Structure 1
Amino acid sequence: MDKIEVLQRRAERERKARKEAERLLEEKSLQLYEANCFLAAREAKTRSILEAISNGILTYGENGRIQSANRAARTMFGYSPEAFAEQGIEALFSPAPNREALFPNPEHEPQFIICAQAISLDGRLFPVELKVSLVSVEGGSIYIATLVDVSERKRAQEQIEQLAYFDNLTHLPNRTLFEDRLRMAIESARRYEDPFCVMFLDLDRFKRINDTLGHVVGDRLLKQVAGRLRHSIRETDSVTRLATSEFSSTLARLGGDEFTLLLTRVRSNNDVARLGQRILENLRRPFRVDGQELAISVSIGVALYPNDGSDSITLLRNADTAMYQAKKQGRDKLIYYTSAMNATALMMLGLEAELRRALSLGQLEVFYQPKLAIPARKLVGMEALVRWRHPERGLMLPGEFLPVAEESGLIGPLSDWVLEQVCRQIQDWQARGLDPVQVSVNVSNQQFHSGRLVETVARVLDETGVDPQLLELELTENIVMEDVHSAMEMMAQLKEMGVVLSLDDFGTGYSSMSHLKRFPLDKLKIDRSFVKDIAADPDDEAIARSIIALAHSLNLRVVAEGVEKEEQLQWLEGKKCDEVQGYLFSRPVSADLAERQLTGHRERGC
């Protein structure tokens, strides 16, 4: 083979090698192009997915500067992509989370999940759940923050907590939250020796309003009561600072018309008494609900830690016991718990059972106290007063058992029984030829608001044939002011029958001149508290004189009760009081002795 042929073959091999290299280069270029196209498509798809995600996604570098933000993040914060690029991650929160949470160290904690408060471009604050991940990329690392707006979740949680721990009507803490706060107060008191007290509050006469006017009116009244209680606490604290600036309170509604008040860090019983007095005064003022004026009051029991109990159950029970003692003493009072009350409570339970039996065994008896017209001192009427001839305790006065009757619900049937006995006694006296006199009967709160009083009076008068003018019904201010509108309607029906109506204990409640003008009354009774020192106390004298003048201006007769001294009688006679009753003339006596008094007055021509 010659030299030329060798060169030609070498050239052919080189040509083929170049061609193969070109083919391989073209193939690699095509592969690279395809790879670039795939990467671009994947990046576009990734961006599309990030834009579609409902959670906010932010990326930022080690300097905190925002590098990217998806659509959800832009909507959440209100920033444009350009505006985001000018922000640091810490500027998106108020306050900013700890730096360790925003810039986690991969050697210790590569990922944090925290709750934070974010701030939008327009200054709106909203809660977010924040998760930060540190991701390694070519040339370094970036932080990826995922944000979830938990505003709706937080609102739902707050609603659940509101339902679980707060009263839906008054928005006060409920029993569950109160008992939890009470347990916390006990733990704190044990640790720091801080005394505190529990007040148990129960509204007086609320059930009558609820039963008479309905639950809608009752609920609206409860909301107003809650408002006044809150105001009483704020008012007293602002005036007295109740011990220290660290004083705190929890007012709760346990249910129905029962409220509790926890006062912590109280240094003096005077602070408790001052607040209690403010509550009593504020709840005495009439309420106005749906155009109606309603009068209630509150009975308050107080238990002190640790003297009256070292656990929540005992403290609440003893405060409740003290509250019932306040009701037994006439309501509208604040009473501190004493250990003797437990024995009293047990005794009262036994007395209630005995009173139920007494009604059926005939142990109750009606006594009568005469009323005299002055100056003639002529017997013109009697007041009926119930007594209990107890087989072991002897003759019991109303103050010893009527509170039990009121608390147990026996006062209703007991009052009806007295009404029937009085009418039958009037009928009997007339049958014996005695001159007719008016006999007054005290109407109980439960009896008046039962809805059956008018019907009961009509039935008894019909059965006995007694002249309605001989029956006088004594109503207290508290009874008629509890629901003025209903009281006026009922009194009008009784007046239409011919029954005589008098307002008892006048001057001790909230009735006003406008109410007196509207009530169809015949008589006004001056409470014995104003008569006691009438000849010596200028204030009592002024009050009694005003009552007499007011009554006469409205054509009402005036009756003074509790007259025990001659100087009281002379003063009343000088001020033209119409009738008097009291121990100066006679104590309440049995029906037989009352009959002798009627006979004696007739024989003397009085």
Structure 2
Amino acid sequence: SQSVIVIPPSVLERQTDFFQWIIHAFALSGFSVIAITLIGRMRSHLLNSNKDLVVQNQKITQIAFFDAVTGLANKSRFVMSIQEEIDTGVCSQGLIVILEIRKYRLTKVLYGSEVAEAQLKAMALMLQKYVGEGFIARIDGGEFAVWNPHGTAERLTSFFTENRTAARDMLESNAPGLPIEIDKAVARYPEDGSTVEECLLNAELALHDSFQSTRGIRWFTPRMKESLLYTEAVEQNIKQALLNDEFTFVLQPQFELSSRKVVGAEVLCRWSNADLGIVNPGDFIPALTRKALITRFTLESVRSVLKKIDRIDTRFGSDITVSFNVSPAALLSEGFLRSSLDIIREASVDPERIIFEITEDLFIEELAVVETLICDLSLRGIQTSLDDFGTGYSSLSYIGTLPISEIKADKSFVSNIAHDSKSLGLFRSMCSIADAFGHKFVAEGVENAAQLSAIQSTSCNIVQGYLFGRPEPI
């Protein structure tokens, strides 16, 4: 007799694919398989499964290739789509434009995700309205990318100029409460990269290039990549340079005009590396800060120079002041003041001969902390000089209330003083401010007789520059 197998519908509904295979196998083996009212149910179940699969695939695609906040394509979709157009010959050139909401991450931290997301949505709406042709994506944080296959530098500049006001109004109306400012950078395909990915990276490099302070459109140049590679090389060598004592120190004298005597000297640092050659302080000081080595470097500078205080006294006199440049990161670091005092004490140097030169950037930090630090320095006899005055966060409030010993005018104010009446007027005003608060006033970068003559028409009495003396080894 023929065997019969009965399979309940509930089992088939749970394991459709598996049991279909079982049924087929038994049938081929000569069994009669009875599935009670199964055929219709199986078909219905398979159709529903296929629909679910389609929905799931759509959800996966949405997550993988689209931004959840704005609905725009994401970075992966942007790169894949444009590269496909290029590979299939739809287009052969174009511009990749990155637009970034300035301080987006700070906005998110200070005001919350809801405000930040409102900015993102407003930005997406603005781009969709004004960009027209092209492909738009949100690629990261507050960054958006636009592919313009028919754009030129002139047309792009004209577009941003013509639509700037309308776009800003639209952004602020859709995200009220905070003004939205946008930074822009561009890379050209194929001039700036052989692939879309490379062009996008180069556009981001242009966006964050520290040498471009412009608020306009930043265009990628090969120099930016060279600069980045050089910066990386400096950072890789900086720690070993400290260990190997590769840094040397020189002194530039400061002269009192009334007596023509040296009254002080500023310590300047030089670094010569076997691989990099002579490295500019503008390159290695930021590298030391980024690598969290600036405090150690500053303390070693003070120690190294004060070990040679006898040589300094023999050359310039034992009553001159010695000035050290101290970055905000070093001054605000824990234990810096205590360690500095220990070094000064070990060298048997009167603290009143030491001047710490600080920049106005320091006052961007928490003002109460800065005030305490400067007052502590003063109480322990160390003088404070406000360096590069007029180039940063200038405020009469802290100049008048803090125990600052001197103000140094940046050399940019001195360079035009001989032939520009406005520069001379500004310089004279700074002298008056220093006089009003009882601070010494030092002019940096005095290089010729014409500049000196202009300075002598003011109340400034201390000068520093190549006209009086170049930096000399200790």
Q: CA deviation at 1:391?
A: 4.1
The whole-number CA distance in structure 2 between the counterparts of 1:425 and 1:229 is: 58
The whole-number CA distance in structure 1 between the counterparts of 2:237 and 2:219 is: 28
Q: Secondary structure of 2:248's match? A: strand
- 1:81 alignment partner in structure 2: none
Alignment of 1:99-498 (within 5 A): 165=67, 177-181=74-78, 191=90, 194-198=94-98, 219-220=109-110, 254=141, 259-265=142-148, 267-268=152-153, 302-309=186-193, 311-322=195-206, 326-327=209-210, 329=211, 336-391=219-274, 395-399=278-282, 401-426=284-309, 429=312, 434-498=317-381
The whole-number CA distance in structure 1 between the counterparts of 2:293 and 2:465 is: 28
- 1:500 alignment partner in structure 2: 383
Identity of aligned residues (%): 26
- 1:581 alignment partner in structure 2: 464
Distance 1:433 1:535, change over 3 A: closer
Distance 1:249 1:375, change over 3 A: farther
The one-letter code matched in structure 2 to 1:220 is: L
Q: CA deviation at 1:300?
A: 8.1
Q: CA deviation at 1:413?
A: 2.6
The one-letter code matched in structure 1 to 2:192 is: D
Q: Which of 426, 433, 436 is 1:553 aligned to?
A: 436
- Tell me if structure 1 keeps the 8 A contact 2:74–2:138: no
**Quick check: 383-392 or 305-314, which moved more?**
305-314
Distance 1:194 1:359, change over 3 A: closer
The whole-number CA distance in structure 2 between the counterparts of 1:472 and 1:218 is: 40
Q: CA deviation at 1:535?
A: 1.2
- Tell me if structure 2 keeps the 8 A contact 1:199–1:260: yes
- 1:524 alignment partner in structure 2: 407
Q: CA deviation at 1:188?
A: 7.1
Q: CA deviation at 1:264?
A: 4.8
Provide the aligned length of Structure 1 versus Structure 2: 387
The whole-number CA distance in structure 1 between the counterparts of 2:121 and 2:385 is: 36
Q: Secondary structure of 1:195's match? A: strand
Distance 1:503 1:316, change over 3 A: farther
Q: Which of 398, 406, 415 is 1:515 aligned to?
A: 398
The whole-number CA distance in structure 1 between the counterparts of 2:448 and 2:108 is: 46
Q: Secondary structure of 1:542's match? A: helix
Larger radius of gyration: 1
Q: CA deviation at 1:350?
A: 3.4
Residue 570 (1) aligns with residue 460 (2): no
Distance 1:410 1:384, change over 3 A: same
Q: CA deviation at 1:571?
A: 1.0
Deviations 1:214-241 (A, max 9, x none): x99992289899799989989x99xxx9
The whole-number CA distance in structure 1 between the counterparts of 2:115 and 2:320 is: 45
**TM-score normalised over the length of structure 1:** 0.53
Deviations 1:50-100 (A, max 9, x none): xxxxxxxxxxxxxxxxxxxxxxxxxxxxxxxxxxxxxxxxxxxxxxxxxxx
Extract unaligned runs of 5+ from structure 2.
1-58, 169-180
- Tell me if structure 2 keeps the 8 A contact 1:387–1:396: yes
The whole-number CA distance in structure 1 between the counterparts of 2:432 and 2:159 is: 36
Distance 1:195 1:397, change over 3 A: closer
Deviations 1:275-321 (A, max 9, x none): 79x9xxx9xxxxxxxxxxxxxx9998653444323545323432444
* Root-mean-square deviation over aligned CA pairs: 4.6
Distance 1:346 1:393, change over 3 A: closer
The whole-number CA distance in structure 2 between the counterparts of 1:316 and 1:569 is: 51
Alignment of 1:45-84 (within 5 A): none
Distance 1:198 1:437, change over 3 A: same
Q: CA deviation at 1:369?
A: 0.5
Deviations 1:225-276 (A, max 9, x none): 9799989989x99xxx98x76699767654xxxx534345464369569979
- Tell me if structure 2 keeps the 8 A contact 1:195–1:267: yes
Distance 1:318 1:589, change over 3 A: same
Higher relative contact order (CA 8 A, sep 6+): 2
Distance 1:392 1:250, change over 3 A: closer
- Tell me if structure 1 keeps the 8 A contact 2:82–2:196: no
The one-letter code matched in structure 2 to 1:463 is: E
Q: CA deviation at 1:505?
A: 1.3
Q: CA deviation at 1:172?
A: 8.3
The whole-number CA distance in structure 1 between the counterparts of 2:249 and 2:121 is: 46
Q: Secondary structure of 1:262's match? A: strand
- Tell me if structure 2 keeps the 8 A contact 1:382–1:439: yes
- Tell me if structure 2 keeps the 8 A contact 1:321–1:341: yes
Alignment of 1:17-32 (within 5 A): none
Q: Secondary structure of 1:530's match? A: helix
Q: Secondary structure of 2:249's match? A: strand
**Quick check: 364-373 or 457-466, which moved more?**
457-466
Distance 1:309 1:216, change over 3 A: closer
Distance 1:432 1:415, change over 3 A: same
- Tell me if structure 2 keeps the 8 A contact 1:172–1:252: no
Deviations 1:371-410 (A, max 9, x none): 1112322211111110123346665442453344344444
Q: Secondary structure of 2:460's match? A: coil
- Tell me if structure 2 keeps the 8 A contact 1:427–1:466: no
- Tell me if structure 2 keeps the 8 A contact 1:298–1:331: no
The whole-number CA distance in structure 1 between the counterparts of 2:233 and 2:256 is: 42
Extract unaligned runs of 5+ from structure 1.
1-156, 207-214, 283-296, 592-606
Distance 1:451 1:251, change over 3 A: farther
Deviations 1:137-176 (A, max 9, x none): xxxxxxxxxxxxxxxxxxxx9xx98xx946xxxx8899x9
- Tell me if structure 2 keeps the 8 A contact 1:424–1:464: yes
Q: Secondary structure of 2:308's match? A: helix
- Tell me if structure 2 keeps the 8 A contact 1:182–1:262: no
The one-letter code matched in structure 1 to 2:248 is: E
